[in-house]
Structure 1
Amino acid sequence: MGKRIMPRAALCAAIVAVVPALSACGGVKDPQPDVVAGKQLFVQKCGACHTLNRANTKGTQGPDLDDAFQQSLKEGFGETAVRGVVYKQILYPNRLKNAQGIKMPAKLVSGQDAHDVAAYVASVAAKSGRDSGRLASAVRAAGGGTAVEKNGTISIPADPNGQLAYTYAKATGSTGPVTIAMPNRSGTGHDIVIDGLGKGSVVSKGVSSFKATLRPGKYTYYCSVPGHRAAGMQGTLTVR
């Protein structure tokens, strides 16, 4: 979905439509949702496309979920109504495409997982600050530490949880021939690029790599998939 794949008027209409059904059954009928699991799944499955402040996701291919629900929440629509809308959108997403011609696939998560994701999004959408308690540590922050050249290869993995980040925000190497490799265990497509040196292919559940000859200096490596670098998927390689 693009940023305005669900315009505010359509969002409000969806909320209005879902409220009677929720009221009739006394709310969303499902076991107690696990918002910790919901956060983990949201980051893994949805964060590459959606911005959500509390989840620290910065995807731009889909709607900014804080912005999408802010006005409706101000107008008095409660968390239960928002939860119902999110759940419905997960299972039966809007058919419109975003600016890149991409539309949200149906049922990225399903069953209890869909309820967990919807409950988490509804509980934090349009809220400032940070998650606390178990939610604060539900997803390990990416981008710490330094990747070091080993046996002629500098390995800079993509975050395995689906965050728009590499696991290392820094890397070091020595002059001469080297392979720059980006293992990616997530289902979100990423690549690794250093302008003037090389570009790996976009892969999911694979390895993006290229060979280069390094000279002393500092280089920026980044993901060229639209929106990923802007969301913070980049780092600095230092060659001595």
Structure 2
Amino acid sequence: MAGADGEGHLFDHLLELRSRILRGIVGLGVVLAALLPFANKLYARLSQPLVDKLPEGAHLIAVEVASPFFAPLKLAFFAALVLSMPWLLYQAWAFVAPGLYRREKNLALPLLASSLLLFYAGCAFAFFVVLPSVFGFLTMVTPEGVAMMTDINAYLDFVLVIFLAFGLSFELPVALVILVLMGWVTPAQLREARGYAIVGIFILAAIITPPDVISQLMLAIPMCLLYEAGIVASRMLSPRGAAAGDAGTD
């Protein structure tokens, strides 16, 4: 009987997982369907940071025959994925939450909300601040006699990578809080490792950003500030024992 009950519970969990996945896919599909009629306008808006910096007469080009169709479609899908992320995270949360303790729920919800807001903030920072400066630098260093006409697919891939890099980099405070809550590090250790962290941040920024100092600083400086924010947040949310030990080191 115990084995049958266990199999029954497992089957119920699988059905619940299937239901949550289907709901997530349906929600994503609804958002995608709403965005598809505006796919070309979305691409035009996304390309504005580059178009504004191009020399007079230069423009984006489509190297492949089907690029004018697939590039906006690809952008619409990724935009739908980002916009429906709260719904997708809610489905994941609804599946996992029943198995969590009250304290775990109280900690997980703020972490999920913070990670989502930080990812959006990173993408917005990349679009409104980083991309204009990067394209301004690239157009400035373009050799004389070279026409800068970027393929629309290559541009989209470049921008998506920048969005992903900045969106994930802005998750640093959440990552630090999780490490502290798991007991892998303490806020005191994070403060002591501040110098190494800053060096690592600048190395990471040099790797994932275009080869110009401006964009590297635009990623490294916010990440350094977010590292400090992560230390503060981890001290506020860390268990009392770790917080007391951390206070004793001050």
TM-score range, shorter chain: under 0.3
If the length of structure 1 is used for normalisation, what is the TM-score? 0.27
- TM (norm. structure 2) is 0.26
Q: Name which one, 1 or 2, has greater alpha-carbon Rg.
A: 2
Greater share of helix residues, 1 or 2?
2
The structure with the largest strand share of the pair is 1
